[in-house]
Amino acid sequence: MRALAFCIALMICCAGEWLKAVQLAASPAAVEFFVSTHGNDSWSGRAAAPTAKDGPFATVARAREAVRAFRKTQAAPVRVVVRGGTYYLDRPLEFGPQDSGSEKAPGVYTAAEGEKVVLSGGRRLDGGHWGEMKGRKAWVLDIPQVKEGKWNFHQLFVNGERRPRTRLPKEGFYHVEAVPDYNASAPDDDQHNNVRRFAYAGTDLQPWHNIRDVEVVAVETCQSNRLPIQEVDVEKRLVTFDRTSRGNLMYGGPARYWVENVFEALDTPGQWYLDRALGRLYYLPMPGEEMEKAEIIAPLVPQLVRVVGTKDAPVKHMRFEGLTFAHTEWLEPPDWPREGRTTRALGMTYRGRSV
């Protein structure tokens, strides 16, 4: 009986493998385009490595355009093979219904086998020099785009690791002491009475250097607020922000909060501070870091990939395989709707049906 069962199982297994082989044989071979950090967008993209006159593309965006042109005349499977390296994006890669494949001819964007591919929304920061901060050696970088008001960022990556901005308190949280504009008896107040100021306890907040570079991060139930400070009234212990909060900071009790990007708090290796007025970044290196050789990346692009479809025209049969998405930034605009939204930073979005 056991021998019979084994034979049946073996026959089923063999039949499954045979059917898979038949399906593979029936499927058309995938057409491949290649992308490389050593490529050129004027080439054909059909070679994996550069030759004297041809080779891979330099950007994924150029490969996407080549795929679109190919699909106008043929319906074969397409693979965009991205060679190892870091690709810095100026804008999100956007895909729409015209990029859809089919069940038998999908579109695949994949990292080359055994190679690490990073699609980065950041920029490398080079050209720094040594300075001193409170008796500590600091790595200083001047960033003209920041000084011109064209760039601001909340994250920094050094040699592939995220580094924290200055933070107060060093551990734990402060707590809102009172919200002068909060009216607990008002209808729907818990959800809709947003505020622009609160009273703080003791000396939790101060009129620090470049006070408008400082942000309060207030956590209330399931959402967080990033609130740039407009002014601090030390006598009244009242802080005012350049925008209203999302929520009244009193739902379920006074909100917890901490403060980021305080110049005076820069005292711990691995921390950094961005002075927007001067366009200057200060970083206290970790032990053993060789800053002259370090890779420093700050986010610039808010999104890396956008897959935009509709109910009537979805994006279908596309895959992204083995790609690392990194270094995105998200800044809440001053006119962001305040009710019913939560603050979430995403590197990839899609609309319509799943891809």
Q: What's residue 348's pLDDT?
A: 47
pLDDT digits (tens, 9 = 90+) for 269-322: 999 999 999 999 999 999 999 999 999 999 999 999 999 999 999 999 999 999
pLDDT at 28 over 50: yes
- The b-or-e profile of 268-286 (16+ CB within 10 A means b, else e) is eebbbbbbbeebbbbbbbb
The residue type found at 121 is G
Q: Kindly report the pTM of this predicted structure.
A: 0.81
Q: What is the mean pLDDT of residues 97-115?
A: 96
pLDDT (0 to 100) of residue 334: 56
> How do 85-88 and 296-299 pair as beta strands?
unpaired
Please, what is the Cα angle at 223 between 311 and 350, to 5 degrees? 20
Which structure tokens are listed for 322? 């083995």
Q: Which band of pLDDT confidence, cut at 50, 70 and 90, is reported for residue 143?
A: very high
Q: State pLDDT tens for residues 35-91.
A: 999 999 999 999 999 999 999 999 999 999 999 999 999 989 999 999 999 999 999
pLDDT of residue 75: 87
Q: How big, in percent rounded to 5, are the helix, strand and coil portions of the chain?
A: 15, 30, 55
Give residue 6's pLDDT band: very low, low, confident or very high (50, 70, 90): very low
Q: Average pLDDT in the 184-202 region?
A: 76
pLDDT top residue among 302 and 221: 302
The CA dihedral of 125, 129, 131, 137, to the nearest 10 degrees, is 80
At 7, the pLDDT band (50, 70, 90 cuts) reads very low
Q: What does the pLDDT read at residue 247?
A: 83
At residue 20, the pLDDT reads 44
> Which pLDDT band holds residue 10 (cuts at 50, 70, 90)?
very low
pLDDT higher than threshold 60 for residue 256: yes
> What is the dihedral angle through the alpha carbons of 65, 66, 71, 77, rounded to the nearest 10 degrees?
-120
| Residue range 207-217: mean pLDDT, rounded | 96
The Cα 275–Cα 151 span in angstroms is 12
Residue with tokens 């207030």: 218
In whole angstroms, give the CA distance from residue 202 to residue 67.
62
Residue 221 has a pLDDT of 78
Average pLDDT of 113-136?
A: 94
C-alpha span between 325 and 17 (Å, rounded):
35
CA distance 94 to 348: 10
Top pLDDT among 250 and 1 is at: 250
CA distance linking residue 281 with residue 291, whole number of Å = 13
